[in-house]
Structure 1
Amino acid sequence: MSSRRFPADAVLILLPGGLLLLVLVLPLSLVLAQFITAGDEALALAHSVYYRQVFLFTAKQAALSTLLALIAGTPGAYFIGRCRFPGRRLLKALATVPFVLPPILAVLGFVLLLGNGGLVNDVRRLIFGPDARPWKMLYSMKAIVLVHVFYNFPLTMRIVGDAWATLPLSEGRAARALGAGRIRAFFTVVLPRLLPGFAAAALITFIYCFMSFSIVLVLGGGPESSTLEVEIYRLIKQQLNFSQGAALAAAESVFLLFLLTLYALTDSNLRKTLKDDSLALSLEPPKLLRGVRLAAALAYLIPAALFILGPLATIIGNSFFSRATWISPAAFSFSHWRRLFNFSESVSLGALSRTAVFSLSVSFFTVCAASALGQYAMRYPKSRKYLESLTALPLGISSIVIGTGWLLLLRHVPNHGAFRLAALGAAHSLSALPFCFRIIYGRLKQLSPQVSKAARVAGASALKTLIHIELPLARPALITAGVFAFALSAGELNASLILAPGSFTTLPIAIYRLIGAYNFHSACALGTVLIIICAVAFYLLDRYGEN
């Protein structure tokens, strides 16, 4: 019986696992090989004052963004994990936004809000008169940090909030019975239990901010506000300096893999703590807020909702206005939408159709790979930790670095347009796989083991059991993972700028080029389409992807 089962089980792990290693390990190996053979050029980078400043700026903006994201997200984590009040579900749902929102939309929204002709400066001119000096914040470190906080403080709400929700009631009662006040009980009992959650939130936020690309590319404002990701892109795409680009990519990858290892250890400790606390005899129930505490919760919820939804609402609103000129103000208009769906002006429509077809392909491949890996983890529980570690690797490997590795390989291949598209699809799938694996595996492990046992007794192989029995029962998770992978691929810009052939324009690339041409209203029309895609993914994640 084992001889019949082995080939099917082998397919479940070898096909997606082999492709994952190929897509991830091959380009990384090429980057490292280029770094080793670079020799003197790599040493010159190490002694370069400019690149040391770039590294320090990258670490500085990531650390500052992480600190502010933790500060901004901690009150929300308390309200989510400990309290019941009107709007709690909305606050918890807002914590899902970073998972589905493309960075280029955040950039566009904040440019429209904070630019010289943006909403904030328009309000200032209404209040202080038309001669009021505009508030200049864009194209600086302050703008980069602000957008990073916007993007990442909901992570703190979600991660620390889940830890807060599982605190045992017994420990808090014991501390108060021994005479500890609320503040002392918090620092001696509550805070130590929350530290793994804070550490996990801080590490993953720092990693995301350290790898940030499109936000820094648009809002950095010049070499003095450049990061490693942007410098790798400039060396590879603009200067065609593969030796120095690979050297920077290798150095960044080693540093990020170290941070990812720390995050994996911290996340494992956090899960163990959450599991132990959830098995406690009694958990502290959420408190129903009234009076001053309810007002405090709403005072946090309303600004948080405006901070998250304001840039998106600005994008949607601007898509319905014509561009202001010296002789006519902006006016309500559908011109940008008509141009978007005008077949004679095929750039926007072509970008939309290409994005849809390409992202559907990525979504299908990612769901198939995640389903196979999830089923294998179900059949062999001891493999779960290794598979989780393997699928988590893309979280700490930049798509810019992956794209650099593929370019190192494909630059020697003639007529490599199709190969670059395949590599781009693999890079997109790689970015979505960690999340899709967790979504699908989380649903599969909820199925009764008797189902698969009955199928095996009836003679079904592991592959047939997965396709005909387990996946139909896990349909909500498959839909959620598929839409999530589609939204991630549709909004991905980093790898697309590196790998996409010149004629292959996606929605994020088109939006990026429109922003560069200061054609913000047309960018808003395309951005609204992307927001609709993200809204569907947001709804499904909020409804089905709780775990």
Structure 2
Amino acid sequence: MSNTHQRRIQWLYWILALPALAFFVLFFGVPLWAIMQRAFAEKGLGAAIQMVFSNRSLLQVVAWSAWQATLSTMLTLLLGVPTAYILAHYRFPGRALLRSLIAVPFVLPTVVVALAFRALLGERGLINRWLVAWLELAQPPLELEQSLGMILIAHVFFNLTVVVRLLTAYWSNHDPRLEASAQVLGAPRWRVWLEVTLPLAMPALLAAALLVFTFTFSAFGTVLLLGSSQQRTIEVEIYDQAIHQFNLPIAATLSLLQILTSLGLTLAYTRLVRRSSVPQEAQALSLRRARTWPSRVAIGGVMLLASSLIVLPLASLVLGALRIEGQWSLEYFRMLGINQRGSYAYVPPTQAMLNSLRYAGITTILALVFGLPCAYLLAQPQGRLTRLLDGVLMLPLGTSAVTVGLGYIIAFRSYEFWGWETPDLRRWSGLLPLAHTLLALPFVIRTMVPALRRLNPQLREAARMLGAKPWQAWREVDLGLLLPSIMAAGLFAFTVSLGDFGAALVVSVTSPATATMPVVIFRFLGQPGASNYGQALAMSSLLMGVTFISFLLLERFRDQTSEW
């Protein structure tokens, strides 16, 4: 393909991506700008920055965010690296099941995961109840509620998928002859691992670590629901400053700090991903059976630890919803349809479920419409501008969903132009799917780009030579080959919308009737009493069921070479 033709194609993709870029600017850039302008209008950015850096408690929030993100990343790597290595190199009974189990947490809503760990390790959790009954104790022996330990375990639960998927994809396709050559030269296995295997995997390993750090640094739901008042990430502090204390300058400054941090991390991540995807003239790695007892023990230990981490909390959640005072019952599910306190903010569970499903459907359509042109553009040979765009489009991954929701409330109020008043969009039910589309866009792009890079352009050219018009060639060639990846990208967008908590929580402040299932669960948890806690478990079980169905479909269509 000539350089002139290649430039024409790139210009075409830029034109096709313009609506998506306009959407990104309007519904991501404008709300963030509205927050900054509103916050810094009186005293300016400099005064707000000085307020943050002269406030010891806020500095402690920033330091604690980085500290817990570092610990979460290290613990996730500690379990994820050996798990990925075993899955990429060994064949053993239950391997396919373990791969599927490890993928489950990534698509679960944060409120479901937080409540699942409370149901397992909390004061009224399954393990404490067993220990009290078995050892005949007066008080629960485990005191993990509102502790850093429970937050870290939940973060490992969430992000194990990221590490395992990235490293398994790398090790499954790297050149095994390098390790074989080192063994032929007499190097023991531990030395081959340290001097050959690990250095070659370092770009993929660092990319996984950066992604986990980005996710945990901006954690919101897990910290809000599992941590104490002294354990606050930047995003939790943003929510508190903006919603509870009405201190927009502080909230906006913290948002700016988080966005700049996320931009740096995502640019580094995209660069490491490009380095880790450099071909090594490799073939798919053939799996081998474990023939020594140390290998078998290691595989068994990793399987037991990883599966227990995933299965036990989710099983505890369902058991808690189905048992009342030691008896099997559906009472908590029945109570979901009763507004016991006559609350204005009460939303029936069926309405909350319909809200979640409707918003997820709209998000799926919009994310595909805007994400596919961007993926086509980014799949081409990248220049400086395209690489920068790649990092910018990943910004929603690390940007506070609370910040996005708050920006919508500020930016999309009613304005008056030349005697004409614009409608107030803050109560518009379509506002939340737009926020969800931004959050889902990076997942759609990252799912589609690997599939597009593998697509042979000569197939499209052959269709053109046979008389097909451009749109016919795209429909017959691209769409047919990319349909599984498109389905996977759409399901990713669906599950991201279904599980969002931060943006939904903020938007529901101005429009309580638009509450989604995660928001309703949070409202139940905010009310005292065992019945409200049980209803939260019941609603979480329903949400987990809907998400699990989406996950099964996602696994059916997911491209195995995708970054997610």
Please report the TM-score for the alignment, with normalisation by the length of structure 2. 0.86
Cα deviations by residue, 1:43-95 (Å, 9 ceiling, x for unpaired) = 22221111011111111111111111111212201111211111222222233
Maintained 8 Å contact 1:104/1:215: yes
Are the structure 2 counterparts of residues 265 and 446 from structure 1 closer, same or farther at C-alpha, using a change threshold of 3 Å?
A: closer
Q: Give, in whole Å, the separation in 2 of the partners of 1:337 and 1:469.
A: 48
Task: Tell me, yes or no, if structure 1 residue 497 matches structure 2 residue 500.
Answer: no
Cross-structure match for 1:507: 517
Match of 2:101 in 1: 94
Q: Partner of 2:363: helix, strand, or coil?
A: helix
State whether structure 2 residue 120 is matched by structure 1 residue 116: no
Give the distance between the partners of 2:48 and 2:465, measured in 1 at CA. Answer: 62
How far the C-alpha of 1:516 sits from its partner, in A, is 2.0
Which region of structure 1 is more displaced relative to structure 2, 470-479 or 14-23? 470-479
AA partner of residue 426 (structure 1):
L
- Does the residue aligned with 1:474 lie in a helix, a strand or coil? helix
* Contact 1:77/1:161 (<8 A) preserved: yes
CA contact (8 A) 2:121 2:128 kept: yes
**Matches of 1:266 and 1:443, distance apart in 2:** 19
Matched, 1:520 2:533: yes
5 Å-filtered alignment, 1:245-324, equals: 245-272=251-278, 275-276=279-280, 279-280=281-282, 285-290=286-291, 292=293, 293-322=295-324
Aligned residue identity for 1:433: L
1:29 is the counterpart of 2:33: yes
After the TM superposition, which of the residue ranges 30-39 and 181-190 deviates more from structure 2? 30-39
SS at match of 2:144: coil
Distance 2:555 2:202 in 1: 26
Q: Is the 8 A contact 2:121 2:144 kept in 1?
A: yes
Cα distance in 2 between the residues matched to 1:34 and 1:396: 22
Assess if the C-alpha contact under 8 Å between 1:424 and 1:496 holds in 2.
Answer: yes
Is contact 2:259-2:395 (8 Å) kept? Answer: no
* Residue in structure 2 matched with residue 69 of structure 1 by the alignment: 76
> Where does residue 325 of structure 1 map in the other structure?
none
The aligned runs of 1:210-249 (5 Å cut-off) are 210-222=217-229, 224-249=230-255
**How far apart, CA to CA, are the structure 2 residues paired with 1:55 and 1:121?**
33
- Superposition deviation, residue 24 in structure 1: 2.2
Question: 1:461: how far off?
Answer: 5.9
CA distance in 2, matches of 1:154, 1:191: 19
**Alpha-carbon distance in structure 1 between the residues aligned to 2:376 and 2:269:** 25
* Letter paired with 2:65: T
Query: How many residues get paired?
Result: 532
Secondary structure of residue in 2 paired with 1:359: helix
Q: Is the 8 A contact 2:102 2:161 kept in 1?
A: yes
Conservation of the 8 A alpha-carbon contact between 1:8 and 1:462? no
Aligned-partner SS, 1:84: coil
Corresponding residue for residue 452 of structure 1: 460
Please give the per-residue CA displacement for 1:322-381, whole angstroms capped at 9, x wherever unaligned.
3xxxxxx24211223334468999611111111111111111111222233334556x55
Cα shift at 1:521 = 2.0
Aligned mates of 2:10, 2:179 — CA distance in 1: 51
- 1:338 aligned partner: 334
Aligned to 1:540: 553
- CA offsets, 1:176-234, max 9 Å, x none? 23332222222221221121122111111111110000111111211x21121111101
Q: What CA distance in whole angstroms lies between the structure 2 residues aligned with 1:106 and 1:374?
A: 31
SS of residue matched to 1:286: coil
How many angstroms apart in 2 are the aligned matches of 1:116 and 1:5?
A: 60
Quote the RMSD (CA, aligned, Å). 2.9
- Is 1:44 aligned to 2:51, yes or no? yes
Asked whether the equivalents of residues 58 and 226 of structure 1 are also in contact (C-alpha less than 8 Å), the reply is yes
Given the superposition, is the C-alpha separation of residues 451 and 268 from structure 1 closer, same or farther in structure 2, using an over 3 Å criterion? closer
Q: For residue 440 of structure 2, what is the aligned residue in structure 1?
A: 432
CA distance in 2, matches of 1:5, 1:202: 35
Distance change (3 Å), C-alpha of 1:451 and 1:175: closer
| CA–CA distance in structure 2, aligned partners of residues 115 and 283 of structure 1 | 44
Which residue identity does 1:13 align to in structure 2?
A: A
- 1:360 maps to 361
Partner Cα separation in structure 2 for residue 530 and residue 416 of structure 1 = 31
CA distance in 2, matches of 1:465, 1:217: 50
Report the Cα distance in structure 1 between the residues aligned to 2:39 and 2:13, rounded to whole angstroms. Answer: 38
Query: In 2 relative to 1, CA 334–148 (structure 1 residues): closer, same or farther, beyond 3 Å?
Result: same
Offset at residue 35 of structure 1 (A): 5.5
Answer whether contact 2:487 2:557 (CA < 8 A) is retained. Answer: no
Aligned to 2:112: 105
| Alignment partner, residue 418 of structure 2 | none
Which amino acid in 2 is paired with 1:529? L
Secondary structure of the corresponding residue to residue 226 of structure 1: coil
Residue of structure 2 equivalent to 1:475: 483
Q: Report the CA distance shift for 1:23/1:458 in structure 2 as closer, same or farther (over 3 A).
A: farther
Tell me, what secondary structure is at the counterpart of 1:364?
Answer: helix
**2:101 & 2:445 partners in 1: Cα distance?**
22
Shift of 1:27: 2.4
Q: Is the 8 A contact 1:169 1:283 kept in 2?
A: no
Give the whole-Å Cα distance in 2 for the aligned partners of 1:150 and 1:312.
Answer: 11
Amino acid at match of 1:337: F
Asked if the contact 1:155/1:201 (under 8 Å) is kept, the reply is yes
CA contact under 8 A between 1:375 and 1:466: conserved in structure 2? no
Unaligned regions of 5+ residues in structure 2, if any?
Answer: 341-345, 416-421
- Give secondary structure in 2 for the equivalent of 1:503: helix
Which is worse superposed, 210-219 or 309-318? 309-318
Structure 1's unaligned 5+ residue stretches are: 323-328
**Change in CA separation of 1:195 and 1:410 when aligned onto 2, cut-off 3 Å:** same
Which residue pairs with 2:343 in the alignment?
Answer: none
Take 1:373 and 1:531, find their aligned partners in 2: how far apart are those partners?
Answer: 31
Structure 1 contact 34–247 (Cα < 8 Å) conserved:
no
Q: Post-superposition shift, 1:408?
A: 3.0
Q: Distance in 1 between matches of 2:462 and 2:180?
A: 47
Distance 1:253 1:343, change over 3 A: closer
SS at match of 1:372: helix
Is the Cα contact below 8 Å between 1:342 and 1:349 reproduced in 2?
Answer: no
Say if 1:9 and 1:84 are closer, same or farther in 2 by CA, change over 3 A: closer
Q: Deviations over 1:270-292 (max 9, x none)?
A: 222xx22xx24x67532211452
Helix, strand or coil at the partner of 1:426: helix
What is the CA distance between 1:508 and its match in structure 2? 0.4
Q: Secondary structure of 1:301's match?
A: helix
Write out aligned runs for 1:380-399 (5 A).
Answer: 381-382=381-382, 385=387, 388-399=390-401
Q: Distance in 2 between matches of 1:7 and 1:133?
A: 65
With over 3 angstroms needed to count, the CA separation of the structure-2 counterparts of 1:411 and 1:307, relative to structure 1, is same
